[in-house]
Structure 1
Amino acid sequence: MRSLLLVLLCTLCSFTLAAAKPNIILIYTDDHGHADLGIHGVVSDIKTPHLDALARSGLVATHGYSTAPQCVPSRGGLMTGRFQGRFDLDNNGSALDGFNKQTTIATRLQNAGYTTAQFGKWHLGPTDAITKHGFKHVFSQNAQRPFSANITLDGRDRPMSDLPPGEYHLDGCSKAAAAIIERYKDQPFFLYLAYRGPHTPLDAPKRYMDRFPGDMPERRRAALAMLSAIDDGVGLITSTLKKYDLTEKTLIFFIGDNGAPLKIHKVDSPLKGDPGGWDGSLNTPLNGEKGMLAEGGMSTPFLIAWPGTIPGGQVYEHPVSALDVAATAASITNLPVKPGDLDGVNILPYLTGENKTPPHDALYWRWMAQSAIREGKWKLLRGGEREYLYDLTTDREEKHNLAVKHPEVATRLRTKLKTWADGLTPPGMALGPMAATWNDYFDHYLEGKTISPRIKPPAANASETQGWEARNGKLTTNNGLIILTPEKADKPTFITKSKLKLSGPVTAQLTLKTAATGQGAIAWRLEGDKDFFPANRLAFPLQSTSDWQTHTLEIPTSGQVIHVRVHLPAGGAEFRSLDFKSIHR
């Protein structure tokens, strides 16, 4: 009898715990422009009925902001609830050492008894190590190739290993997430569903493309198709919640990681021929794009819903941040958080109407050579030595610089921004000079100048350079040497070679001379990786000398290396040998 009572008591405690803790679903889209939600009413070609319904069940945050205008840093800030510049994760090329020392919101919730699961794009290190960051379940499909997963499409456990794709990646992530909801319907869960869409490559299947007939740029059609697949996935998630009576027990965030990359001219290049081009999404009516702290790069689709707790049908106009997700989750689940651990705020009292004041005194950003502060209606934006002041209540499009008209406001905001930025790692409002691309963006969007499309120089003859190609420079050959000439003497360059099939571990032996002393690095991409991950990088020192230098490094991987880069300090270089070989060949 005593044992039976103990079992009943434990069961009752378990049900009480589950009832007291709301489920949390964080949906994150990739390069998704502000215009591309039907409920925004900006464009007529978008079709997002399920997202529109989600918004009507909760709210649209019209001034919702990401933490960076680029993939890696914005995800680092989102996952930790801390501004990523506090741990030296400023851009896509930053090392992940600082991030790896942080406590993610997934870890905090897992320690509090939540089942945690990640789906889709990770971009914060090796996908087979996602479980080290607080996620029990992983389904990291973001393309039509094998991906790390420890669950199947129907939510069953499997050993962590590569799983061949069984569905289009956007559909697969949605179905796996719905399966986990069904599996854990009686327990609190935290799902992070990070769709790789509409980020390039634009790979929507025909059944989604066919939803958008008519005359339009093919890149626009493909983006609409990918967003339609995401919308279907959101519909599957919300219908699964409804099926198990979880709608009012679940807080949902839907946020974009940054604005759409327009590349100024929105060139409708072939879908498979320009993986780094315009992704077809739009930031209208906001000014700017991905890679800028302007509104078009930072103010993304931002929806929040918790029926029964957050009143539906709202349009919330006070600024909110993706950093608020972790702080809100920690507060509503009573997680122990030390002062200063999180940079966001619990926005729930503001969304329910309990607190009528703005959630933030100010929002701050720094990304590479740019920094910005938003305080009430004012926004101060800096890019290198340029400075702009906007009144966003009358000029959301950032067309009228008021820095000269209101110098006292600009000075006050600049002082606040500098004080905040001096507390980052490394400190400062800028981490270097403005690159040519960002100067073009500022000239075009903020200065109204006409920027002609950049004409890329002809590609180097790959047969003469052993398959190596240059970025930010030009490769030539002379007496058996490969010579790298940079486009600009003060700009770092790298050379790259793809279509490799080297089973790890791999040794790299380089014999070279460089014009400048500094740090070199080898980066590599494995089969199945969409991009070069910051963790897959080995640094080595280089000296400017007339003598040949030979560096031998081992790439510590058991996977197949398919693509390598050799990064160099600013200035030219000569290569006598560039050998990459499988150790066990």
Structure 2
Amino acid sequence: MNRAITLLLSGALAVMAVGQEKPNIILVMTDDQGYGDLACHGNPILKTPELDKLHAESVRFTDFHVSPFCTPTRAALMTGNHPGVTGAYRTSSGRTMMHPDEKTIANLFADAGYVTGMVGKWHLGDNAPHRPQDRGFQSVLWHRCGGIGQASDYWGNDYFDDTYERATSDNKQGVFEKFEGCCTDVWFRESIRFVETYKDRPFFLYLALNAPHGPYHVPLKWAKPYQGNKQVPNPNFYGMIANIDHNMGILRRRLDELDLAENTILIFMTDNGTSAGGKFKGLDSEALVGYNAGMRGKKSSVYDGGHRVPFFIHWPKGGLSGGKDIGTIAAHIDVLPTLADLCDVPVSEGYDLDGVSLKPLLKGQPLERKHHVVQYHGGAHGKAMPPGPLAFSTVMTERWRLVNSDGQYLFDIEADPAQRNDVASEHPEVVERLRALYDPFWERVSPRLTPVRIDLGNPDQNPTVLCSQDWQMEKGNPPWNFGAIRKLPKVTGPWLVNVKRAGRYRITLRQWPEEADKPVVAVRAKVEIAGQERETSVEPGSKGVSFELDLPAGSTELVTYLFDKQGKAGGAYFTDVKLLTAQQEDAPQP
């Protein structure tokens, strides 16, 4: 063989060998599963043998905190920043998308030579430039919106034999594919396929399950063991977790078969407190029925039950195995810097991290963390931003929780983990100290609680299909699920958009998504955008009403109206915007 070729091949093999030494990463996050929704955390009824086994073999953070609900946790996990900093701090109303300048963990690892994949639930924007394929993930299979069966999801999806979008960094437009089986089984099956495809390269896989989020649909065989038990608030919820547990076992066995288990960092966590693992009186009570690991609060609560979750990390080659608890406060904002540190991936400019690396704790070294802040930045019945500092927040240390909900309370979490006894009057100095710790957080977050826009005319997504769930509404939620959009539209709101390229656009108003193949029930339609208004009658049986307008580049608002025979109007739940002809840029002067 030619000596030059021999040297070239030897060099390539050496590079490959070095590359294979990099640990793989699989980050598994379930949806709405609380700390108490695991047998290894004391649940006396739920059976989770595979997750119990992972727990026994992992390093466990026992005081790990996320946000109280879906989108903000995902934003923090992706960026290492507080959710308010990212701009994605609610679950609808156009506030699920991150500011374009936020860089993600997928960007970081892709730049470091990893293959990056995402499977399942994203909930950080359905449109460019906010989709997972726009945010550093090179291989994506996902459902849109915050849950299967929500408004922008593929029409008719119901957890079984559904249609999901597949996209790559080379085809960001994406294509829809139909799959057989329960959604959880599909997500794991496709994750294993990703691992098999890229087993010879370092990979980062984000497996973000939509289960056990409602609606609580699962094959009967998983729910049946829990039916008829009065201590089980929702047998299907437990059944969904049992199904996840079964699939975790399949995934881990496949990693063993592929000789990948030793050098794969496997993380299991959840995105907020339980949604259906107990019956509660409001959001902030202890569980009246069911099991919540002795905590007060559920999903959407700023009490511990709303945001303290499991976090297991397993990496045998890196010494992270054998079973060990770490009680230091840790949080979702720490995941990006921790994984970067463990994998020797430098965090470059553009990552303005709020989180810290937990590597010292994992290696048995001290890490002083003085406090952490959890904030609920508005919701379905709240304002876009808190009415003032400390509203709907918890300032925590390893001993104390200063909770601001319907009042201000101080709890000694070491003596009172159920947060039953307010000791604020006994420790006024602690209250003041924790209040002062909140101020820098608010100064950091509040300037970024600003609108994030959707692109029109972006070459990575043309046409853009807008959904009513992203109307910017200050109070309440816009229509956001299949049930809401079955009703005649009665309200409307603006989409905040960014016209990427000046040109001729076609704007098509629909009451139903195009794949539903149903007519608009309206007599007139109207559109407002960039200072222009257009109105027309609706032909009987029409499935969409189109307008063509010349739009300048820049930020604007798009508002739609569908009028009934009585003249009452609501917005078009779905609106397609397609760039037909881009305006030619002025030629440079000679």
TM-score, normalised relative to structure 1? 0.70
1:348 is aligned to 2:359: yes
Pair 495,223 (structure 1): closer, same or farther in 2 beyond 3 Å: closer
**Distance of 1:287 and 1:121 partners within structure 2:** 27
Q: Which amino acid aligns with 2:263?
A: K
Q: Which amino acid aligns with 1:115?
A: V
Match of 2:165 in 1: 148
1:380 is aligned to 2:397: no
Deviation, 1:419, is: 2.3
Deviation, 1:578, is: 4.1
1:11 is aligned to 2:13: yes
Residue number among 293, 298, 303 corresponding to 1:289 in the alignment: 298
Deviation, 1:511, is: 11
Match of 1:77 in 2: 76
Deviation, 1:399, is: 0.7
Q: Counterparts in 2 of 1:127-138, with a 5 A limit?
A: 129-138=131-140
Deviation, 1:51, is: 0.7
Where 1:412 maps in the other structure, the secondary structure is helix
**Distance of 1:539 and 1:99 partners within structure 2:** 27
**Distance of 1:121 and 1:337 partners within structure 2:** 26
Q: Which amino acid aligns with 1:189?
A: F
* Alignment check: 8 A CA contact 1:117 1:191 kept: yes
**Distance of 2:110 and 2:432 partners within structure 1:** 44
Q: Output one character per residue of 1:510-558: Cα deviation in whole Å (capped at 9) or x when no partner.
A: 999xxxxxx75699885799xxxxxxxx9989xxxxxxx98869xxxxx
Deviation, 1:290, is: 1.1
Q: Which amino acid aligns with 1:26?
A: L
Q: Which amino acid aligns with 2:237?
A: A
Identity score, percent: 27
Q: Which amino acid aligns with 2:308?
A: S
Deviation, 1:228, is: 0.9
Q: Counterparts in 2 of 1:458-473, with a 5 A limit?
A: none
Q: Output one character per residue of 1:294-334: Cα deviation in whole Å (capped at 9) or x when no partner.
A: 10100012211112412421122111111211111111222
Q: Output one character per residue of 1:244-282: Cα deviation in whole Å (capped at 9) or x when no partner.
A: 222220111111100123599559xxxxxxxxxx9x985
**Distance of 2:173 and 2:490 partners within structure 1:** 38
Match of 1:92 in 2: 91
Q: Which amino acid aligns with 2:16?
A: S
Where 2:262 maps in the other structure, the secondary structure is helix
Q: Output one character per residue of 1:378-435: Cα deviation in whole Å (capped at 9) or x when no partner.
A: 1111126x2111111111111111111100000011011122212213479xxxxxxx
* Alignment check: 8 A CA contact 2:71 2:96 kept: no
Between 1:224-233 and 1:159-168, the stretch displaced more is 159-168
Q: Counterparts in 2 of 1:250-269, with a 5 A limit?
A: 250-261=264-275, 265=279
Pair 178,539 (structure 1): closer, same or farther in 2 beyond 3 Å: farther
Q: Counterparts in 2 of 1:531-546, with a 5 A limit?
A: none
Unaligned runs of 5+ in 1: 152-156, 268-277, 429-489, 503-507, 513-518, 530-537, 542-548, 554-559, 569-573
**Distance of 2:57 and 2:292 partners within structure 1:** 24
1:235 is aligned to 2:249: yes
Pair 333,224 (structure 1): closer, same or farther in 2 beyond 3 Å: same
Match of 2:201 in 1: 187
Pair 263,38 (structure 1): closer, same or farther in 2 beyond 3 Å: closer
Residue number among 303, 306, 314 corresponding to 2:312 in the alignment: 303
Residue number among 321, 342, 367 corresponding to 1:332 in the alignment: 342
Deviation, 1:291, is: 1.1
* Alignment check: 8 A CA contact 2:326 2:361 kept: no
Pair 337,281 (structure 1): closer, same or farther in 2 beyond 3 Å: farther
Match of 2:439 in 1: 418
Match of 1:556 in 2: none
* Alignment check: 8 A CA contact 1:223 1:281 kept: no
* Alignment check: 8 A CA contact 2:87 2:448 kept: no
Q: Which amino acid aligns with 1:71?
A: C
1:365 is aligned to 2:397: no
Q: Which amino acid aligns with 1:372?
A: T
Q: Which amino acid aligns with 1:324?
A: D
Q: Which amino acid aligns with 2:108?
A: R
Residue number among 381, 395, 413 corresponding to 2:416 in the alignment: 395
1:165 is aligned to 2:175: no
Where 1:140 maps in the other structure, the secondary structure is strand
* Alignment check: 8 A CA contact 2:133 2:167 kept: no
Match of 2:568 in 1: 576
Where 2:446 maps in the other structure, the secondary structure is coil
**Distance of 2:567 and 2:273 partners within structure 1:** 39
Match of 1:322 in 2: 332
Deviation, 1:579, is: 7.1
Q: Which amino acid aligns with 2:361?
A: Y
Pair 511,162 (structure 1): closer, same or farther in 2 beyond 3 Å: closer
Q: Counterparts in 2 of 1:437-476, with a 5 A limit?
A: none
Q: Which amino acid aligns with 2:292?
A: N
Q: Output one character per residue of 1:20-43: Cα deviation in whole Å (capped at 9) or x when no partner.
A: x111111111111211111112x2
Pair 230,510 (structure 1): closer, same or farther in 2 beyond 3 Å: closer
Where 2:445 maps in the other structure, the secondary structure is coil
Match of 2:229 in 1: 215
Where 2:12 maps in the other structure, the secondary structure is helix
**Distance of 1:220 and 1:39 partners within structure 2:** 20
Match of 2:554 in 1: none
Q: Output one character per residue of 1:437-463: Cα deviation in whole Å (capped at 9) or x when no partner.
A: xxxxxxxxxxxxxxxxxxxxxxxxxxx
1:125 is aligned to 2:125: yes
**Distance of 2:290 and 2:114 partners within structure 1:** 35
**Distance of 1:49 and 1:197 partners within structure 2:** 18
**Distance of 1:539 and 1:401 partners within structure 2:** 53
Pair 496,137 (structure 1): closer, same or farther in 2 beyond 3 Å: closer
**Distance of 2:203 and 2:293 partners within structure 1:** 35
Where 1:210 maps in the other structure, the secondary structure is helix
Where 2:5 maps in the other structure, the secondary structure is helix
Match of 1:203 in 2: 217
Q: Which amino acid aligns with 2:413?
A: L
* Alignment check: 8 A CA contact 1:87 1:425 kept: no
* Alignment check: 8 A CA contact 1:260 1:281 kept: no
Aligned residue-pair number: 466
Q: Output one character per residue of 1:219-244: Cα deviation in whole Å (capped at 9) or x when no partner.
A: 52111110011111211121111112
Pair 410,136 (structure 1): closer, same or farther in 2 beyond 3 Å: same
Unaligned runs of 5+ in 2: 149-158, 282-286, 378-390, 450-473, 497-509, 517-525, 537-542, 545-557, 561-565, 578-590
Deviation, 1:127, is: 7.6
* Alignment check: 8 A CA contact 2:118 2:207 kept: yes
**Distance of 1:356 and 1:528 partners within structure 2:** 56
**Distance of 2:142 and 2:108 partners within structure 1:** 21
Q: Which amino acid aligns with 1:301?
A: P
Q: Which amino acid aligns with 2:326?
A: Y
* Alignment check: 8 A CA contact 1:39 1:52 kept: yes
Match of 2:585 in 1: none
Q: Which amino acid aligns with 1:61?
A: F
Deviation, 1:120, is: 0.9
Pair 36,382 (structure 1): closer, same or farther in 2 beyond 3 Å: same
Q: Which amino acid aligns with 2:337?
A: A
TM-score, normalised relative to structure 2? 0.70
Where 1:50 maps in the other structure, the secondary structure is helix
**Distance of 2:277 and 2:250 partners within structure 1:** 33
**Distance of 2:491 and 2:431 partners within structure 1:** 51
**Distance of 2:133 and 2:16 partners within structure 1:** 24
* Alignment check: 8 A CA contact 1:166 1:172 kept: yes
**Distance of 1:412 and 1:159 partners within structure 2:** 50
**Distance of 1:207 and 1:497 partners within structure 2:** 27
1:408 is aligned to 2:425: no
Pair 495,30 (structure 1): closer, same or farther in 2 beyond 3 Å: closer
**Distance of 1:552 and 1:221 partners within structure 2:** 51
